[in-house]
């Protein structure tokens, strides 16, 4: 990963597992930044117009092995980086990421890839200015996801790597492994960790406080 992206804009990331509240807080933060008078662009995980459809089809047909999984998501990120993220940063926008390359670090290493291989795969990625990590335990995640979707996702439960035939047990084990990886990354990349079980309003205030400082430092008038 590059030490400093060197562009005119700000790159801000909200990380965490499914059900941690990432998308909610990306949306809240996006509105806050716009209300403060700054241009803001949101880029979400697996939304490349070129690649996302391929990933969805491969998932539906259960065609993804661990390496294909890694490479397709890397291709999705690369397309968004070149066509969305870097142009917006060059133009002086704030770019909000709903998940970033750290999601790949976590998922790919839990699926059996050496973390250094994964880091090398994303070595061209710009370093974010801020990374917020919403930490939520598996027992709360499972309640949130079932309430929202009515079921657990096959891949987010680690069923594709054969952890357990019981999807609930598989989910618990897989998510605990993901949390362990996030714990390592938090120390290495200085994540701002936030307890994701707090009230939405309280979490937003914590995020907003840090972002306000970053905006003032970057765009001094």
Residue 74 lies in a domain: yes
pLDDT in tens, 188-204: 999 999 999 999 999 99
Per-residue confidence at 59, pLDDT binned at 50, 70, 90?
Answer: confident
Residue 142 lies in a domain: no
Residue 201 has a CB neighbour count (10 Å cut-off) of: 8
Residue 97 lies in a domain: yes
Residue 143 lies in a domain: no
What average pLDDT does the structure give for the chain? Answer: 94
Residue 168 lies in a domain: no
> Which CATH number covers residue 68?
3.40.50.300
State mean pLDDT over 59-82.
91
Question: Are residues 3 and 127 in contact, defined by beta-carbon separation less than 8 angstroms?
Answer: yes
Percent of the chain with pLDDT over 70: 98
Q: Which residue has the tokens 């990374």?
A: 131
- Enumerate residues 6+ apart whose C-beta is below 8 A from 123: 1
Residue 68 has a CB neighbour count (10 Å cut-off) of: 12
- Single out the residue of 102, 119, 107, 122 nearest to residue 177, CA to CA: 107
Residue 196 CB-density burial (10 A; 0-12 exposed, 13-18 middle, 19+ buried): buried
The whole domain housing 82 covers: 10-136+191-218
Question: Are residues 141 and 179 in contact, defined by beta-carbon separation less than 8 angstroms?
Answer: no
Per-residue confidence at 46, pLDDT binned at 50, 70, 90?
Answer: very high
Residue 186 lies in a domain: no
Specify the pLDDT at position 3: 64
According to DSSP, residue 83 is labeled I
Residue 181 lies in a domain: no
State mean pLDDT over 34-40.
97
d(Cα 111, Cα 90) in Å, to the nearest integer?
35
Domains identified in the chain, total number: 1
Specify the pLDDT at position 186: 96
Checking if the pLDDT of 2 tops 70, the result is no
Specify the pLDDT at position 221: 57
Specify the pLDDT at position 151: 86
State mean pLDDT over 126-131.
97
d(Cα 196, Cα 139) in Å, to the nearest integer?
13
Question: Are residues 2 and 124 in contact, defined by beta-carbon separation less than 8 angstroms?
Answer: yes
pLDDT in tens, 154-210: 888 998 888 999 999 999 999 999 999 999 999 999 999 999 999 999 999 999 999
- Single out the residue of 59, 76, 81 nearest to residue 7, CA to CA: 81
Residue 56 lies in a domain: yes
pTM of the model: 0.93
d(Cα 57, Cα 88) in Å, to the nearest integer?
29
């Amino acid at each position: 990963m590059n030490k400093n992206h060197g562009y005119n804009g700000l790159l801000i990331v909200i990380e965490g597992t499914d059900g941690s509240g990432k998308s909610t807080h990306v949306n809240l933060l996006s509105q806050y930044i716009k209300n403060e008078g700054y241009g803001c662009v949101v880029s979400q995980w697996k939304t490349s117009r070129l690649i996302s459809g391929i990933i969805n089809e491969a998932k539906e047909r259960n065609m993804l092995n661990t390496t294909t999984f890694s490479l397709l998501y890397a291709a999705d990120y690369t397309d968004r980086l070149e066509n969305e993220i870097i142009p917006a940063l060059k133009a002086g926008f704030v770019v909000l990421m709903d998940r970033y390359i750290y999601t790949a670090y976590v998922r790919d290493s839990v699926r059996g890839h050496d973390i250094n291989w994964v880091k090398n795969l994303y070595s061209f990625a710009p370093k974010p200015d801020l990374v917020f990590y919403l930490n939520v335990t598996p027992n709360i995640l499972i309640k949130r996801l079932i309430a929202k979707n009515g079921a657990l996702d096959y891949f987010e439960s680690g069923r594709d790597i054969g952890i357990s035939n019981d999807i609930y047990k598989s989910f618990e084990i897989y998510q605990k492994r993901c949390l362990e990886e996030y714990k390592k990354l938090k120390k290495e990349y200085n994540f701002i960790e936030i307890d994701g079980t707090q009230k939405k309003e309280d979490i937003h205030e914590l995020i907003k406080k840090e972002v306000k400082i970053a905006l003032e430092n970057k765009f001094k008038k």
